[in-house]
Amino acid sequence: MAYVILQPCMEEKSGDCVEVCPVDCIEEGPDQFYIDPEICIDCGACVTACPVDAIVEEYEMTPEDEPFLAKAEKFYGIK
């Protein structure tokens, strides 16, 4: 999983990331958006489009961000 959407998305949930994704790999969940790691091409368009800086690369995550990775994996049936 290259990119993960974090807590600020739950508060804003603007959807700007969905509009700019060239491969339509971002889906709306009940509480936030999620990036499908099997479709994502790591272009980074979503990162610059997000108005609340909620999207980070997995290697940039802090320990506090780990639950969001787990949520994304569960959303897509990974692990």
pLDDT at 1: 58
CA-wise closest residue to 54 among 29, 17, 2: 17
Across the chain, mean pLDDT equals 94
pLDDT at 2: 83
Task: Categorize the per-residue pLDDT at 6 as very low, low, confident or very high, splitting at 50, 70 and 90.
Answer: very high
Global pTM reads 0.91
What is the pLDDT averaged over residues 5-32? 95
45 burial (CB, 10 Å; 0-12 / 13-18 / 19+) is middle
The total number of structural domains in the chain stands at 1
Rounded CA separation 79/73 (Å): 6
Q: What is the CATH number of the domain that holds 47?
A: 3.30.70.20
47: domain range? 3-75
Partner residues linked to 55 by β-bridges: 5
What is the pLDDT averaged over residues 21-49? 96
